[in-house]
Amino acid sequence: MTRLPVRFSIDERGSLTVAEAGPRDAASLLTHARQVARESDFLSAGPGERTRRLEAQVAFLRRLQSNGAGFVLKGTVSGRLVAVLSVVRPSQPRLHHRAELGLAVRAAHWGHGIGRRMGEVAIALATERGLRKLNLRVRADNRRAIGLYQALGFSREGLSPRALCVHGRFFAEVMMGLCLPTNSRVESPPASPAAHHRGRAWRGRASASGAGAGREGAEGRSEPSQGSHVKVT
C-alpha cells in the first residue's frame, strides 16, 4: 500500500512532500488555481476565469473522500503548496472504472521532477483504489507535458482539433490514456510496456529526486524533469 505523505529529494530546493488534500485545504487549492492561471497559457482557464467558490470547493473535496469519487494530491516544498494533482471519476457505473487526471505545478518549480513524482504517486493510488484507466487532455503544443505523460506510461489516443481558443487562436488537444493493471476477469486492454516497466520500478525502489502537466482538475497544471521512486509496501 502507498502510505501518505511521501517525501522526495528535489536538488538544492530541499524535498517535495506529497499528501492527500482534504476539505481543510480548499482555500489553498483555490489560491493555487488562480496563481497557475496567471503563469501559463496551456490551461483551459485563464486569469480571472476560475469562479469556484470556497463552499463549492469544500463540498467537492468532501464528496471525493466520502464516496470514492477520486482524490486530490498536494505537493509542498518547505511547507508551501507548489503542485496539485486531481483524479476524478464519473459516478455512472459504466464509467466508474476510469478517471480524469489533472496536474498543475507553479512555474517557479517547473523542471525539477515535481510533476513526475506527483504522477507516480497518483498512478499507484489509483491502482490500489480500483481504477482501471486514467485519461487526460493536454494542449498539442505542450511538448514537455506530453513527454512527461509518456514517461509515466500514458499513450496518445486521439487528437481534438480547435479544442481551445486562446487570445483568438485555436489549439488542438491530445487525448492520452493509461490502462492500469487488474486481476478482474473483465478488464481494459493491457497497459503499454512502458507503463508496466514504470509500475515495477515504482513498487521496488526508494526515494531520490523529481516534474509535470496536462489538463487541470482540482483547479490547476505542470512541467517535467528527472527523479526517483518511493517504496510501496
Gap between the Cα atoms of 68 and 147, Å rounded: 30
- Provide the 10 A C-beta neighbour count for residue 4: 14
Residue 59 backbone dihedrals phi, psi, to 5 degrees: -60, -40
pLDDT for the residue 11: 78
**196 has a pLDDT exceeding 60:** no
pLDDT band at 212 (very low <50, low <70, confident <90, very high): very low
Cell of 222: 505542470
pLDDT for the residue 126: 97
35-57: b or e for each residue (b if 16 or more CB lie within 10 Å)? bbbebbebbbeeeeebeeeeeeb
Return the percentage of the chain with pLDDT > 90, whole number. 67
Lowest model confidence (mean pLDDT) among 34-38, 55-59, 60-64, 187-191: 187-191
- Highest mean pLDDT among 6-15, 22-31, 35-44, 203-212 belongs to 22-31
pLDDT for the residue 141: 95
Cell of 28: 489553498
**89 has a pLDDT exceeding 80:** yes
pLDDT tens for each residue of 62-83: 999 888 899 999 999 999 999 9
On average, the pLDDT of the chain sits at 83
For the beta sheet containing 70-77, the strands, ordered from the edge strand earlier in sequence to the opposite edge, are 6-9, 15-20, 70-77, 80-88, 98-105, 133-139, 169-179, 155-166
**Pick the residue with more confidence: 132 or 186?**
132
Mean pLDDT on 134-157: 97
Q: Where are the domains of the chain?
A: 6-204
Cell of 142: 505542450
CATH of domain 6-204: 3.40.630.30
